[in-house]
Amino acid sequence: MSELLKVNHLSKIYQSSGGLFDKKAKVSALEDVSFTLAQGETLGIVGESGCGKSTLGRIISRLDTPTTGEIIYKGEDLAKKSLAKLRPLRKEIQFIFQDPYASLNPRRQIGAIIEEPMRINGLAKAERQARALSLLEKVGLDKDSYERYPHEFSGGQRQRVVIARALTLQPELIIADEPVSALDVSIQAQVLNLFKELQEELKLTYIFVAHDLGVVRHISDRIAVMYLGKIVEIGKVEDIYNNPQHPYTKALLSAIPRIDQNAKNTRQILTGDIPSPLNRPTGCSFHTRCPIAVPACSTTEPKLRQIRNVEVACDLVV
Amino acid sequence: MLADNLLEVKNLSVSFKTRRGTVRAVRDLSFTLKRGEVLGIVGESGSGKSVSMNAVMGLIQDQNAQITGEVIFDGVDLLKKSDEELRAIRGKDIAMVFQDPMTALTPVYTIGWHIREQIQLHSDISNDAAYKRAIELLEEVGIPDPDKRVDQYPHEFSGGMRQRAIIAMALSLNPKLLIADEPTTALDVTIQAQILELLERLRKSHNSSIIIITHDMGVISELSSEVLVMYAGRMVERSSKSSLFSNPRHPYTKGLMNSVPRVDRDRTSRLETIAGQPASILNLPSGCAFRNRCPLAHAACEEIPPFKSDVSDHGAACFLVEAGAVR
């Protein structure tokens, strides 16, 4: 498999505007994130609120600009391109958002919504319509949806419309940010299956951002686990889920409620809350909650290194 | 000697008159809850799980709502009580924890004020004593530095801590029944694990009964001893947890369990799904509400299937289960 995307030392610092009496604060949302993504692969990004997983997706698609670092897509660095130069590449990288109620214009027909990206790119009406109709079919919607409005559809159907729209310009990379978390369980399974079918058929590459560890495991080939803006562990799905190395990954996986109580593992309950990125702990960000932390963890910052089959950012793992 | 059953719901129905006709949100719901038992109610959006519990609590004030049936709590029918009588029961004997800890607290008052208010509404104790009790409660639910935290405002608490504070409020008067509506849905998974452990610990120490409403089969499995599955306003299956998870009977329950991508099973290339969309209670098919999504539907399903339980008290509302065709 050839390499489609390579992210090098990506960082993003947001400057908070500060209140009337507050000092301006810096929020480091991403810190030194690096990974590669092969063509046709799915990388799942997991982590809890505020870990930077959505920021990472937004920056790779250049909905936001990184502070430092490179986003090498097919040999070109997206990080430094101007918005005008990015435009042709936007066709190839598409984004799917969480809330299918907010991402469709309620006043436009489904057909017009799906055709909009093609219209912007100057395709003729006849071709637009033909492609929209065939995409509706591909995502499992009736052809007469073409003339209907978003309010006539349920959440799962709307997410299908969003997916059809993302496919209009034959993208290579799709970044999906929590695309199934607003859906009911029975509908979530349908949409996940659709993602997989489309990937096989169209050779798509996915970055799949989600907090649901079951969903991510189902869809991904590789997983990156994030904590406070950093990747703490990255590797193949089987390795991460069967043999996690980082203490945070272990705790995260053990926290999932199990349906099969016979398979109940020894749960490791983390104490305390995720620290605020405004007030990041020194050294390893996880040391304040880590069950195996030693004094050195609060001073030295661990770097990702290869341990067995995965890369882990923890100096205590050997 | 106290009766074994803390709560008996008999033929509870809730409907709302709307411009588009009468919407029957809950139909014919009957179940019992024993003392110290944890009942999980599971279902998708619009299945009536929250509406039915709001009806139990007397929280449906809409004048277009029509509630019938009986809700026998500790020997008295709550549906026959006046608002004033209900207010004396709510918060004291029955407490509720809602999904969103961000909106359940008033931002302009301290956490301590919220707990004190709850205590003093129902009992005649001094401000000082109530304040001390608030600190004790915060400590009990695992808030660090409770004597400082008690004077902080909700915005100074994280989501998980707010949910703990709400649980502290709910438990302040040792309720006999705690109803928790999606108590962990808004929380991260490591925080969810903390809250589930807390609820289990408190159930043991206070001997309260708990009803937990959720869409997450994993949460149900962790916490409850009994499970009730709802679909389109009706109870479709009810049994002990172990019987339900080892031997689900209703085709909907089976479908629901198979559609969850589970970390404790092998990875498959495709998830099993339930075809179609969840039934809208505005537009239900006649007969069994699940029949247009059910892989096993047949002619008999045009009638409404009665809810039947077997000797082990595992019941389902499905003709095929009744006929023994589904095991």
Confidence label for B1 from pLDDT (cuts 50, 70 and 90):
very low
Residues of B in contact with A217 (CB under 8 A): 261, 263, 267
pLDDT of residue A35: 96
List CB contacts of A226: < 8 A, sequence separation 6 or more.
A45, A46, A47, A51, A52, A53, A56, A232
Contact across the interface for A189 and B44, Cβ inside 8 Å = no
CA atoms within 13 A on the CB side of B290: 30
What does the buried/exposed string (b/e) look like for B190-209 if buried means 16 or more CB atoms within 10 Å of the residue's CB? bbbbbbbebbeebbeebebb
Here the contacts of B294-303 (C-beta below 8 Å, separation 24 or greater) are: B294/B251, B294/B252, B295/B251, B295/B255, B296/B251, B296/B320, B296/B325, B296/B326
Could you say which of A186, A217, A258 has the minimum Cβ distance to residue B256?
A186
CA distance A216 to A228: 19
The DSSP 8-state label assigned to residue A244 in this structure reads -
Chunked mean pLDDT (size 10), chain A, 318 residues: 92 80 80 95 92 93 94 94 91 91 93 95 94 94 92 90 95 95 88 94 95 92 96 96 94 86 70 83 93 94 93 93
Q: Does the ipTM surpass 0.85?
A: no
Confidence label for B284 from pLDDT (cuts 50, 70 and 90):
confident
CA distance B292 to B277: 10
pLDDT of residue A18: 65
**Does the structure show a pLDDT above 90 at B101?**
no
Weakest-pLDDT range from A18-32, B175-189, B258-272:
A18-32
State the DSSP string of A31-64.
Answer: EEEEEEEETT-EEEEE--TTSSHHHHHHHHTTSS
Confidence label for B244 from pLDDT (cuts 50, 70 and 90):
very high
Q: Which of A241, A273, A274 to mutate to test the interface with B (most CBs of B within 10 A)?
A: A273
Torsion of CA B195, B197, B199, B202, to 10 degrees: -130
Q: Specify the amino acid at residue A71.
A: I
Chain segment B194-210, per-residue pLDDT in tens: 889 999 988 888 889 99
**3-class DSSP state for residue B85?**
helix
Q: Does A188 contact B at CB distance below 8 Å?
A: yes
Residues of A in contact with B155 (CB under 8 A): none
Q: Which of A125, A143, A145 is nearest to A134 (CA)?
A: A143
Longest dimension (CA), chain B: 68
Instruction: Tell me, rounded to whole angstroms, the distance of Cα A130 from its chain centroid.
Output: 31
Residues of A in contact with B218 (CB under 8 A): 256-259
CA atoms within 13 A on the CB side of A306: 3
Interface contacts (A, B; CB < 8 Å): 127
What mean pLDDT comes out for the span B93-116? 91
Q: Which of B253, B264, B270 to mutate to test the interface with A (most CBs of A within 10 A)?
A: B264
What mean pLDDT comes out for the span B234-248? 94
pLDDT of residue A183: 86
Residue A156 Cα distances to A241, B85, B280, angstroms: 28, 43, 14
**Per-residue tokens: A58:** 């937004």
Residues of B in contact with A192 (CB under 8 A): 261, 271
CA distance A252 to A273: 13
What mean pLDDT comes out for the span B114-119? 94
Q: Which of B92, B23, B82, B96 is nearest to B54 (CA)?
A: B96
**Does the structure show a pLDDT above 60 at B326?**
no
What mean pLDDT comes out for the span B226-236? 95
Structural contact between residues B277 and A157, judged by C-beta atoms closer than 8 angstroms: yes
pLDDT of residue A27: 86
**3-class DSSP state for residue A276?**
coil
State the DSSP string of B165-186.
Answer: HHHHHHHTT--SEEEEESTTTT
Q: Does A293 contact B at CB distance below 8 Å?
A: no
Residues of A in contact with B215 (CB under 8 A): 184-185
The residue with greater pLDDT, B63 or B283, is: B63
Confidence label for B211 from pLDDT (cuts 50, 70 and 90):
very high
